[in-house]
Amino acid sequence: MNGGDDTRNLGAAHRNGNNHHHSAKRPKISLPISESEIREEFSHHEEGVARINNGSFGSCPASVQSAQKNWQLRFLRQPDDFYHNTLSEGVLHSRTIIKGLINADDVEEISLVDNATTAAAIVLQQVGRGFAESRFNPGDSVVMLHCAFQAVKKSIQAYVTRAGGSVVEVELPFPVTSKEEVIDAFRLGLRRGKQDGKTYRLAIIDHITSMPSVVLPVKDLVSICREEGVERVFVDAAHAIGSVKIDVKEIGAEFYVSNLHKWFFCPPSVAFLYCKKFELSKDMRHPVAFQEHGNDLPVGNAWTGTRDYSSQLVVHSAMEFVERFEGGLEGIMARNQRDVVEMGKMLADSWGTNLGSPPEMCASMVMVGLPSRLLITSGDDALRLRSYLRVNYGVEVPIHYQAQSQREEGDGPRDKDGGRITGYARISHQVYNVADDYYKFRDAINELLKKEFTCRMIFTE
Amino acid sequence: MASPDGKHCRSQTNGEAKPPDSKKQKITELITDDEIMSEFSHHDASVARINNGSFGACPQSVISAQQRWQLRFLRQPDSFYFNDLKPGILESREAIRSLISADDVSEVSIVDNATTAAAIVLQQMTWAFAEGRFEKGDVAVMLHYAYGAVKKSMEAYVTRAGGRVFEVQLPFPVSSNEEIITEFKLALERGKVKGQRIRLAVIDHVTSMPSVVIPVKELVKICREEGVDQVFVDAAHGIGCVDVDVKEIGADFYTSNLHKWFFCPPSAAFLYCRKSAKFSDLHHPVVSHEYGNGLAIESTWIGTRDYSSQLVVPSAVEFVNRFKGGIEGIKKRNHEVVVRMGEMLAESWGTSLGCPPDMCSSMIMVGLPSCLRITCERDTLKLRAHLRECYRVEVPIYYRSPKEGEIDPITGYARISHQVYNKLEDYERFRDAINKLVSDKFTCPSLSA
């Protein structure tokens, strides 16, 4: 089966007597999935690229793509029949699976949307209407993290600021060494942002921040929100499903969104938006008004005009894929975490740098400090370095520029040369990654250092 | 039905001198009937598919092009995002610009569908009310036969924000453009009665149900004469169905789906916005990184999703150019054939058409025999399902309330479509199905719920 087929360096390097491969219990399908089957499923990935950026655009195995094509074909074959007899059932099935995965009470609480960006528009439009219709007072605020995803920040600008709301930004420490640091900073930020007579109408908190990437103690942060009088909380968990366990009841937020095409093997694109039941009656609408306008959001989300719904219909195929792995989704998540931390440490050791957060605050991604001698001095430098690595070394990895925080005591972490660490690479680990991907990255950076390369040397076209 | 020639077309006969651009003509040979059948071989062959109007159709060669784009993304999505996506979308936008005779590619945005375009146009109205640029009670006008989703959008973005919406009553069946023009003028007058401004007129180019081609050029002219601020033409059935020259039509906004009559896969549509300072306030409702860079650019990135249907517009152009006369030729032939088929059906059933031939496009409304007793909208859905299940005919049916005093009124109309893949047998099967229902003394009330 797969016991002897372990050609992954990574597997050999750290299995250490832990036997993760058991023989198949079910004779018909070969379970768990073997290494060569995994390679086969992702054989469409470009060869020669160390693809260590699953976080940005996700990935989709061949068997799920195949299922998607079947759905697309069914629509093209007889679209009227598909629309009248097949579509809503298929979408309901997907929503039901998600409900089970995230421990929601009722499938009515689950809507399918394109992506987290769309979900943000839905929630923020509703907040905007609160201002426009004077249910909220001018100056009432929306709280967000300093490192919130840029698209979300723009959405707040478009729907909240424009409508007369104000925005409070809370900065979280990075690098970070414990969840208590995050909790303290968040509480402080909320208290500082309070103004007499003004209400916190909404807080937007990431479950796993994007750049720099850290797993936040979201349950604790939601509690703090309640303590500080925040009316409603929206958790932007774009990266969560397939990375960390999700229990929306435990987390307690009114809204929770996660993309299924990032870490849950669905094709682009599909995300779920969870809305606590009583919120549904409060006028939640998809930004594109639809035939069923006026009804609940979930029904409306099933039909936003003629489009390709196939990515929403393959959730159960993704589930089937996941269950071919040892330990199913939990097994995948545990191994991704273990492997990405190990590779992160390997890189940090080789370069004499650091990790941006402790293992318990990582899921399938970790921030690895880049050597100071590369002279990453701006966001532009980071972007250019990323392109440079892609073009010249076949390494795909996003780079974050960490400006020195005003709040920081001292002047931030330093590398083995004593220089300030200003750049971090966000490495991802997904089931298709092998140790060689990370060695390639390690060696690329070491070569750049040897050549005394700095970001200044990259000219923009 | 598929193509009048059914053969390869050689641009020059034996002995004639080759024209200077013979290289081009060598490549584009006309598509044959067999090739057309092959392009649509994924259609369920057992179905008489005479409803291209609802969901459109996409040929195999465009589907293949789409799959190539999808694979490119899956192969290396970062590289795709940074290097391939924007140029690809720009190429699509330029192809559209050329098709619709717009001046500048910045006037062309690609969106999911006409419903999204409507949301974009209407959303600016909500802000205008909220920010005091419009006054409460300012008016928006739309046709009574406007698409359901657009009506709901009007409710969401205009009525709710404090505006008033007036509907233009249109007669159906209709016998001339003048009838429509008269009703439209009346509605504008009603709108201005309390001295309020008419901020927006939403006019269908081809109404959905019942389907009629509206004289948009004339109506736009009237809007200008009556001081209507902005005119939005909803041409969901536009490109590939009617002539689309946006400068000639003269509206401020014009939207059309590309997956209905222009052979793109679901879904892709464009929104044309005439260049003008007024319109810098248009935004895509899904806000992302490009917010503030203009609608066209905002629409190029609304988060990670599958943009492949938007990227195959050039492939769709290639496809239509394999037909004689390109999209113009396809349009003309579709129109001629659907009228002929409509007349054939009406004659066989002893009914009539819903409008004169010059008021229809690639679709036509054909009256159904009154003895079928179509008494309400639910009956039309039941009959449609019955036709689908028992006769394998796919055709949407419209319910028309009879006027008082009408004897044996025609209350049901079938909206038949014609697209390049349709055959005579499709319409004959429909004809025979209805005739059978009539001879079996079938009535809609007899169908179970």
pLDDT of the residue at A461: 47
Residue B195 C-beta-side C-alpha neighbours within 13 Å: 0
Where b means 16+ CB within 10 Å and e means fewer, A224-245 reads: bbeebebbbbbbbbbbbbbbbe
Give residue A288's pLDDT.
56
pLDDT for the residue A179: 97
Nearest to A154 among B55, B285, B287 (CB): B287
pLDDT for res A7:
38
More confident residue, A18 or A212: A212
Nearest to A45 among B75, B152, B259 (CB): B75
Q: Does B43 touch chain A (CB under 8 A)?
A: yes
- Which pLDDT belongs to residue B24? 45
pLDDT for residue A95 is more than 50: yes
Residues 6 or more apart whose CB falls under 8 angstroms from that of A213 comprise: A55, A239, A356, A365, A366, A367, A426
Of B152 and B319, the structure prediction assigns the larger pLDDT to: B319
- Which of A3-12, A67-76, A399-408 holds the top average pLDDT? A67-76
The fraction of chain A above a pLDDT of 70, given in percent, is 86
Contacting B residues, span 392-431, partner chain A, CB-CB under 8 Å: 394, 396
Whole-number Å distance between alpha carbons of A169 and B173: 60
* pLDDT score at A21: 41
Q: The complex's ipTM? A: 0.89
pLDDT at residue B196, as a whole number: 81
The pLDDT of residue B213: 96
pLDDT of residue B27: 53
Task: Report the share of chain B in percent with pLDDT over 90.
Answer: 81
Chain A contact set for B148 (CB, 8 A): 291
Over residues A255-291, the pLDDT tens digits come to 999 999 999 999 998 999 999 987 665 666 665 544 3
For residue B127, which residues of chain A lie inside 8 Å, CB to CB?
A: 162
A158 touching chain B per CB within 8 A: yes
Band (B276; pLDDT cuts 50, 70, 90): confident
Q: With bands split at pLDDT 50, 70 and 90, how would you rate the model's confidence at B279?
A: low
Amino acid found at A213: S
The single-letter code of the amino acid at B365 is M
Q: Is the confidence at residue B310, as pLDDT, over 80?
A: yes
- The residue among B214 and B277 whose pLDDT is bigger is B214
Q: In terms of Cα–Cα distance, which of A171, A147, A177, A179 is closest to A400?
A: A147
A224-230: long-range contacts (C-beta < 8 A, 24 or more apart)? A224/A183, A224/A186, A224/A187, A224/A190, A225/A143, A225/A190, A225/A200, A226/A252, A227/A187, A228/A187, A228/A190, A228/A191, A228/A194, A228/A200, A229/A199, A229/A200, A230/A143, A230/A190, A230/A200, A230/A201, A230/A202, A230/A203
| Res A278: pLDDT | 74
- Interchain CB distance below 8 Å, B306 and A116: no
Q: Is residue A17 very low, low, confident or very high in pLDDT (cuts 50, 70, 90)?
A: very low
Residue A151 clears pLDDT 90, i.e. is over it: yes
Write down the number of H helices and E strands in chain B: 17, 12
- Sort out which chain A residues have CB atoms less than 8 A from B51's CB and list them: 80
* pLDDT classification of B1: cutoffs 50, 70, 90: very low
Residues of B in contact with A297 (CB under 8 A): none
Is A48's pLDDT higher than 90?
A: yes
Q: What percent of chain A has a predicted confidence (pLDDT) above 90?
A: 80
pLDDT of residue B148: 82
Q: What does the pLDDT look like over B236-245, one tens digit per residue?
A: 898 989 999 9
Q: How far apart are CA A269 and CA A246, in angstroms?
A: 20
pLDDT for B158 beyond 70: yes
Task: Tell me the shortest Cα–Cα distance from B94 to chain A, in angstroms.
Answer: 22
Whether residues B303 and A306 touch (CB distance < 8 A) is answered with no
Candidates A45, A287, A291; nearest CB to B149: A291
**Minimal CA separation from A58 to chain B, in Å:** 8
Collect all residues of chain B within an 8 Å Cβ-Cβ radius of residue A118. 286, 302-303
Pick from A158, A155, A107: which is nearest to A275 by CA?
A: A107
Cβ within 8 Å, pair A305-B267:
yes
d(CA B175, nearest CA chain A) in Å: 30
Contact between A158 and B283 using a beta-carbon 8 Å cutoff: yes
Look up residue B119 and give its two tokens. 């949301």
Of the candidates B116, B56, B102, the one whose C-alpha atom is nearest the C-alpha of residue B305 is: B116
Say if B268 is an interface residue toward chain A (CB within 8 Å).
no
Instruction: Give chain A's count of helices (H) and strands (E).
Output: 19, 12
| A147-151, B186-190, B345-349: least confident range | B186-190
Q: What is the distance in angstroms between the Cα of A78 and the nearest Cα belonging to chain B?
A: 6
- Interchain CB distance below 8 Å, B115 and A59: no
Of B81, B127, B156, the CB nearest to A293: B156
Q: Would you state the pLDDT for residue A29?
A: 62
Q: pLDDT value at position B190?
A: 85
| pLDDT value for A405 | 67
A304 and B115: CB-CB below 8 Å?
yes
Characterize the bridge pairing of strands B397-399 and B412-417. Answer: antiparallel
Residue B156 scores a pLDDT above 90: no
For residues A341 and A357, what is the distance between their CA atoms, to the nearest angstrom?
Answer: 10
Residue B43 reports pLDDT greater than 50: yes
| pLDDT score for A289 | 46
Return d(Cα A140, Cα A307) in angstroms, integer.
Answer: 38
Is the model's pLDDT at A24 over the cut of 90?
no
301-360 in chain A: CB under 8 A from chain B: 304-308, 311
Please tell me the predicted confidence (pLDDT) of residue A286: 63
Mean pLDDT estimate for chain B: 91
**Is B78 in the A-facing interface, judged by CB distances under 8 Å?**
yes
User: B391-427, pLDDT tens digit by residue?
Assistant: 999 999 999 999 899 888 999 999 999 999 999 999 9
Question: How confident is the model over B57-111, as pLDDT tens digits?
Answer: 999 999 999 999 999 999 999 999 999 999 999 999 999 999 999 999 999 999 9
- Top-confidence residue, B307 or A17: B307
Please report the pLDDT score of residue A406 as a whole number.
57
Residues of A in contact with B43 (CB under 8 A): 76-78
- Quickly state the pLDDT bin for A295 (edges 50, 70, 90): very low
How is residue A62 annotated by DSSP? H
Residues of A in contact with B267 (CB under 8 A): 305-308
- Give how far Cα A367 sits from Cα of A213, A314, A394, Å: 6, 31, 20
Q: Would you call B63 an interface residue with chain A, using a CB distance cutoff of 8 Å?
A: yes
Nearest chain A residue to B387 by CA distance is: A81
- For residue B180, what are the CA distances in angstroms to A1, B161, B177, B214, B248? 73, 29, 5, 8, 20
Closest chain B residue to A119, measured at CA: B286
Helix (H), strand (E), coil (C) string for B275-334: CCHHHHHCCCCCCCCCCCCCHHHHCCCCCCCCCHHHHCHHHHHHHHCCCCCHHHHHHHHH
Instruction: Please judge whether B75 and A44 are an interchain contact, meaning their C-beta atoms are less than 8 angstroms apart.
Output: yes
Average of per-residue pLDDT values in chain A: 89
